[in-house]
Every structure is written in C-alpha cells, then in structure tokens.
Structure 1
Amino acid sequence: MGSAPFGVMLVNLGTPEAPTTSAVRRYLAEFLGDPRVIDLPRVKWLPILHGIILRIRPPRVAKAYASVWQDEGSPLLAIGRRQQRALKARLAARLGTDIPVELAMTYGKPSMEEAGLALRDAGVERILVLPLYPQYSATTTGAVFDRLARALSPCPHLPELRFVRDYHDHPAYIEALAESIREHWETHGRQPRLLFSYHGIPKRYAEAGDPYPRHCETTSRLVAEALGLEPEAWQQTYQSRFGREEWLKPYTDDTLKAWGVEGLEGVDVISPAFAADCLETLEELEVENRGYFTEAGGGDYRYIPALNDRAAHIDMLASLVEQHTQGW
C-alpha cells in the first residue's frame, strides 16, 4: 500500500464521449434523468425525456459540442485533466509529499468508480471530495453527493471521506476572479459594463431552500467590491434555462438583448459558476449570447474565460485541500 495520507477526487458535471448524436443522447439521458436535476415525478418525466427530448435535442447539442471540441476531447475534460495535473504538482510542492489526485464526472466518464479505484490502487484510505462548483446547489453539488453514494454502495470497505460543500466566498477564489478580470481589462480594455452570468436553476428550487442564488449574489458582490465597481457598472444574470417553467431571473439572454437595444457600447461577460470553460461558456456565452447583444444593436462583446488552470485558481484549490484535510 502507498504512504499518501489522503487522496483528492476532483468532480465536475460531465461530458459526452464524442460530439455525436448517439454519445450526446447517452449523456443527456444520464444527466436529465437525475432527480436532482429534474425533480418531476419519474412516471411523468421519464416518458417526456425518452419519448420527446432525447429524440429532439441530441442532434442540436451534438452540433454545438462539435463547434468547441478539442483534440483532447471536450473542453471540460481537457481543462479538467490540466487542473488535475496542476493541483497534484502544487500539492506536492506545498506539502512535500505525493498526493494522488483523480478527476471524476457526475455523469459520463471518467466515472467516480474509475476515480475511486485509481485512488484505492494508490493506497489511499482517506478521500477529500472536491466538487468544482463554487456555489452550492442541490442540482450540482448535491448530485455529486448522491452519485458518490451510489458509487460506493458495493464497496465492502469504505474510505474515510470529507466533502467540500462550496467555496463561493473564499477570499482566494474572489481574488482569483478579480485578478482574471483585471488582467483581461489590461489586455483588451474595459467595457462600460461587467456582466456576471451564472447557470440558472428553476425558481421553485430556490423557493424550496436551495441556497444557490444567495451564493451567486455573494460572489458577485465580493468581486465587484474587490474591483471597486460602482453599482451601475455591473449586473448579475442567469443563463442556460431549460423547459417552460420560470427560472432564476434576470435572464442573461434577455438582459443582453435589452442592452443591445439601448445601444450599450460594450460589455465584458464572466461566468463565475464555471470552474472550467465548457459548452455553456464557449458556445452559449461566447457565441450565442454575443449574437443576441450585437444583433440587437450593442457594441463590443468580450467573454472573460473561466479560471481553468490559472495559477491563482490552482493555488486556491490547493488551499481548499489543505484546509479540509487538517488532521489527516
């Protein structure tokens, strides 16, 4: 057995294995079939999912994935692998010992079972689970917890576990975001308005107690304060809604269209909810929403990339690991 005091399981949402209709259909079936994501009664939702949605959406979503696909796979997976390697190196430098770090996805591959087996083979008996979701939501971090429980259910000898719930107001996370915005402004110039766009959730989820919008609001406020922004210089919105029910507002696309109609000279857009660039940022924000803004009459539109494997982001993740593994 190895001598590592613990291992780290980095977890993100997931990705199809290829930008094809069949691969996207398999991925969406798992993702949208999770009650944490769509909480409708199974007897009502599953016929809709399999009878309508999985027949209509996969070709369009596959085309979107094809537009951002990389040699290493989907952007989320490629960046996740870089984050995994960078965090492993940073922990070795800071702790003076080799700490196994594995990447897992809630849906698709690499699965939690695969990551868990790799950590076990490395001799790890203590695992810190680090979901790459700064703001907690039952639809994301909660789903990681459920999926991990299912992955461990056949295990006769459970590892000792710790779980990072969120880091939406962590000082190093806030500063990493602020630093990335400052660097973007230094390189590209600053637009009249900064938009914080977060992935949305149905409004009734928040009304039932999901703290996600409060976490998003805190993140935006703290970053705006770190940048010294006046209230009129920034706004927070929500993107990526699905279905017909009301989601958290204001909506990103509607806001950008309205700003375009107003003739806003320019906007910088960042999405703090995403630890790695993915379809929702590279295609939806950078391409689709750019079109909404400019076609409505808006000026310059500039997307500020996710933190990805920036040094400040990896340092923050390493700090989280050290914080949550005290005593191990």
Structure 2
Amino acid sequence: MVLPLYPQFSCSTVGAVWDELARILARKRSIPGYRLFVITPITTITLMHWRTAYALLLPNMANRICCCSYHGIPQRYADEGDDYPQRCRTTTRELASALGMAPEKVMMTFQSRFGREPLADALYRRNAENARRKRRRSIQVMCPGFAADCLETLEEIAEQNREVFLGAGGKKYEYIPALNATPEHIEMMANLVAAYR
C-alpha cells in the first residue's frame, strides 16, 4: 500500500511518488498487487484538523488575518497543466467557509522558492510584508499542504518568516502546527490501511 501524505495533488509531489513506484516495479520480475491511495481522505482529515485548531483561536481574531501557505511550484508546471495552484485555492476557500471567515481575513500564498523559475503565485515573504503595510499587526499561519510538519514548515515558516513579519512591524505571529502524530491523524491512516488488509 502506498499512501502519499500530500493533501493536494501535484506532479512534483504525488506524481513523484507514482514515478518512484513505477521505477521500483519496473525492476521486478513479478509485480505484486498494490494500491495507491487517492488523496481525498488526506484532504478531508487535514481540512477538519485546521478547522478545529483554528476555531479555538477565532475569539481573538478581531484584528488578525489567517495565512494559508503552500509549497510553491514553478509557473511552468501550472502552464503545462498541473492544477495544484487551483487545488490550493479550493482548500483555502473551503477552509475559510468552514470557519465562517470573511474573504478579506484569509490570505493564500506559496513558499520555498528554489532555482530561478518564477513561482505560480506570490511568495510568502512578499505577502507578509503586504499584510504589515495594510496594518495587519497579528497573523496566524497554517500550511494546509502538509499532513506533517517538516523542515520547511518548522524552520522556514514558523521561524524565518516569523522574523520577516515581526521585522516588518508586525506584533504577533502564530504558527498552527500540522496534523503530525495526533490521534486523529493516526486513526485516519489506520482506517485506510485496515480497509485493504
């Protein structure tokens, strides 16, 4: 069983898992039965997680905004048909709706630029500075493209970009952790696997 832990499909994430699986199976004389899970269950459980985590913070949100930050892909990928940016926009819209938040309170951005190719949308740091210029002094950031935290979320988003926001005049920066090893996350994966034992 193969379970890519990416809530939104992209050729560079779930697609890369498929490619690696194909390379492994190509070396086999006998190919075993296998199942590559569709990512819909991951999307659903991550949406539920952030909705719950964020709802706890809503009473203190009068002067804050929510930033949903996703791993960036080159614009070229989107031009060639990768609909990952649209999937991220859909996730952000559904999350805002689930939280009952006004559109102007929710910001979506991308992070982690590698190489010289332009990203498919605005970089996180640029949006953080824009938020400061609009007198948004407090911001809460989540990364709905990650089922578990990693170097990218823990260092780049939770630490480096906190410094960018506070250095630009922001007053409060909160990073909302991913699902990680929460009981709900483990239960969801266990239920998926158990159904195909």
Q: Give the TM-score, by structure 2 length.
A: 0.90
The residue type paired with residue 2 of structure 2 is V
Q: Which among 90, 95, 102 is matched to residue 230 of structure 1? A: 102
2:28 is aligned with 1:155: yes
Structure 2: how far apart are the matches of 1:279 and 1:169?
20
RMSD of aligned residue pairs (Cα, Å) = 2.1
Superposed CA offset, 1:228-255 (max 9, x none)? 1111111110000112221121211100
Moved segments of 4+, more than 4 Å: none
In the alignment, which of 154, 167, 173 is matched to residue 295 of structure 1?
A: 167
Q: 1:271 aligns with which of 112, 134, 143?
A: 143
- Matches for 1:104-253 after TM superposition, within 5 Å: 128-167=1-40, 170-183=43-56, 185=57, 189-190=60-61, 192-253=64-125
**Among the aligned pairs, what percent are the same residue?**
42
3-state SS of 2:160 partner: helix
CA spacing shift, 1:200–1:238, aligned 2, 3 Å: same
In 2, distance between residues paired with 1:135 and 1:279? 19
Match of 1:317 among 186, 189, 193: 189
- Structure with bigger gyration radius: 1
Instruction: For residues 68-88 of structure 1, give each alpha carbon's deviation from its aligned partner in whole angstroms, at most 9, with x where no partner exists.
Output: xxxxxxxxxxxxxxxxxxxxx
| Post-superposition offset of 1:160 | 0.6
SS at 1:158 equivalent: coil
Q: Quick one: which amino acid aligns to residue 154 of structure 1?
A: R
Partners in 2 of 1:149 and 1:259 — Cα distance?
44
Q: CA deviation at 1:189?
A: 4.3
Amino acid at match of 1:200: G
The residue aligned with 2:177 is 305
Deviation at 1:156, TM superposition (A): 2.3
Does the 8 Å contact 2:110/2:121 carry over to 1? Answer: yes
**Preserved contact between residue 169 and residue 218 of structure 1 (Cα < 8 Å):** no
Q: Secondary structure at the match of 1:302?
A: strand
8 Å CA contact retained: 1:256, 1:293: yes
Amino acid at match of 1:156: R
Maintained 8 Å contact 2:42/2:147: no
Q: In the TM superposition, what whole-angstrom CA distance separates every residue of 1:116-152 from its partner, at most 9, and x where no partner exists?
A: xxxxxxxxxxxx2100111000001111111112223
Paired residue type of 1:249:
D
* Aligned equivalents of 2:173, 2:99: Cα separation in 1: 20
**Amino acid corresponding to residue 316 of structure 1 in structure 2:** M
Cα deviation, 1:207-240, whole Å, max 9, x if unaligned, reads 1111211211111111111111111111110000
| Equivalent residue letter for 2:55 | R
Q: RCO greater where, 1 or 2, for CA within 8 Å and sep 6 or more? A: 2
